[in-house]
Structure 1
């Protein structure tokens, strides 16, 4: 297994340069297989189902399982939900900046794979910032639900990609939904979005007996940036609802609106997971399976610790805390890449999904 070099947490320019050179040197040295463990074309360790720390890049190739390989396709559905009809995110929160645009409706995209059998309780993957990367997940389902390799086979989960409420960062509806340290988003997805999916007329016409599972081990969440932080937050605050979590370039920094009531309990927002309150370290271990990733040149990667906004530092600390606590975790550090770059998804997402759904029948 490739372990990420533990460079200094303070990514000032000199230390960061030393760390980058050392990481590249380590990756090149690891390119020679040892005990059968080598590097594939994307730089990923050849054990796609293993826990631990991994380095990928700096060259990237798309995984063939994330392309159209001519296998049977599932069915796609799209509908809208009016924000004003919500009991949880109406678009009129007092913390919102009136200069930041709020959507009147949010789009919901649903993909039911060809392997799904009507009437069975469907596992599900909720995706934030829809329809971002939805095409890659669809291809993964088309190819890997029918894989001849049982170690690389995905369950026929339904994808529910949810559009954010609009804009970004402090004072935005998206920021309210994704960066707030509470169970509010988990409740919104569970109490409002999932019932809307199950009752959608077009979907019901195609699948009269359609139903989604209530088993939290069969419910996954995926997102990038603040959407990644939101994935962890949904599971952290409501592990009774969602337990498989995928975060790329997670915003585990102080991005919570300072006007939010949650500031009283979590004054540094998602930074509290790994630093400050050190929630992962100091809380009882939760029933969660967690994938995290950060890019070498992710947002504010040269910032000092006292900004609470260094994405690389935040994600490395989050991964270390998960490891120390004994979680099933997987952390990917992508060389030669930036925040939420598609090439990283193209190279890693198939392995990520395979790892995420390990043991899904045995929990």
Structure 2
């Protein structure tokens, strides 16, 4: 592990984390979707420029205008937390020693199973992971703080929004741990292995290899209460956030996703979960007892549609997120689903408009546990 200079929030740039597209060479032209398409969830269309209340549940349509929320920019009169940055090398991880696939390669569909992709160009490879830790000005040393873990970091927009929301009393003072991925994308890559695999390994990696470093290095105490822990991300980072909470609900109860990759992108192929994250809305959530999760989701009308060479009908991000909303509603989950007009995959303008409200909604019912 290599430490990097600590930076003050006052001089940090307001930047949107660059989420990686889950793309392949066969990417089709992306159609603009109508949120009122038959088969989609019934949703309330809000006046342009407005967003749903932090008290609202269910399905909403916003846009086409996406004006940044006031909380998405730095305000000099608001207490600003500290952001600490460090890097982790793959050699330091017992769980993820590192893989990569050759550039400009995708894979070949299994002739006997179009849902399975054969990737022969993936091999062991080292990586370096960036990590940023946000500690709010209001944190009281020695107290157990709620926290949020974010994928595809560092995400400076998240830190700025938290500064403002905490100062406004809209969310509790919380620590944010924004993790970079292990590089690459989709099947055969380190990022794909971490984010798209349908098991608890990534949450276990965070729990055993990241959180202890954060507590020791920056003299903070992280709550063990799952109601005080959230996971967030966009694209595969979004599906990763739900995977963390689904497989380890004893650790995480809150999930926030932009353009969640609830599609068939798991690799290696697992016959017990043949559709990867597509199985969340196809079989896993419908056939499982509801878990104590609170979930905020977004998808854009120009989000990804990528049939690719697999031709398995499980690579449509809009349909996947619409199906997720249906599955969550059927099981009576506490959720809010936003369909954004004039929005692309992990759309930056939409995130700057909605992230403050999304975070406020996510933490609305939080009550700290004293121990």
Q: TM-score range by the shorter chain?
A: 0.7 to 0.9
**TM-superposition CA deviations, 1:13-48 (whole Å, max 9, x none):** 999569479x9xx98xx56xxxxxxx4x63313x22
> SS where residue 89 of structure 1 aligns?
coil
1:276-315 residue pairs with structure 2 within 5 A?
Answer: 278-300=283-305, 306-315=312-321
Change (3 A) 1:320 1:119: same
**Contact 1:102–1:172, Cα closer than 8 Å, also in 2:** no
Please, which runs of 5 or more residues in structure 2 have no aligned partner? 1-28, 102-117
Higher relative contact order at CA 8 Å, sep ≥6: structure 1 or structure 2?
A: 2
2:355 pairs with 1:349? yes
C-alpha distance in 2 between matches for 1:305 and 1:318: 21
2:253 pairs with 1:243? yes
> SS where residue 210 of structure 2 aligns?
helix
1:44 alignment partner in structure 2: 51
Q: Which has the higher helix share?
A: 1
**TM-superposition CA deviations, 1:258-297 (whole Å, max 9, x none):** x34xx1210110000112xx11111011111111111101
1:31-70 residue pairs with structure 2 within 5 A?
Answer: 39=47, 42-45=49-52, 47-70=53-76
State the Cα RMSD in Å. 2.9
2:166 alignment partner in structure 1: 145
The runs of 4+ residues in structure 1 deviating greater than 3 Å are 12-21, 92-103, 301-306
1:266 alignment partner in structure 2: 273
Match of 2:87 among 55, 69, 80: 80
Return the offset for 1:93.
9.0
C-alpha distance in 1 between matches for 2:54 and 2:249: 25
> SS where residue 167 of structure 2 aligns?
coil
**TM-superposition CA deviations, 1:43-97 (whole Å, max 9, x none):** 313x222111111110110000111122111111011122122121111599986
TM-score by length of 1: 0.81
1:324 alignment partner in structure 2: 330
**TM-superposition CA deviations, 1:125-161 (whole Å, max 9, x none):** 1010111xx22221222112121xx5xx111110101
**Contact 1:102–1:167, Cα closer than 8 Å, also in 2:** no
2:235 alignment partner in structure 1: 225
C-alpha distance in 2 between matches for 1:48 and 1:336: 22
C-alpha distance in 2 between matches for 1:66 and 1:18: 26
TM-score by length of 2: 0.79
C-alpha distance in 2 between matches for 1:336 and 1:220: 28
**Contact 1:96–1:173, Cα closer than 8 Å, also in 2:** no
C-alpha distance in 2 between matches for 1:160 and 1:252: 23
Please, which runs of 5 or more residues in structure 1 have no aligned partner? 1-11, 32-38, 205-209
1:360 alignment partner in structure 2: 366
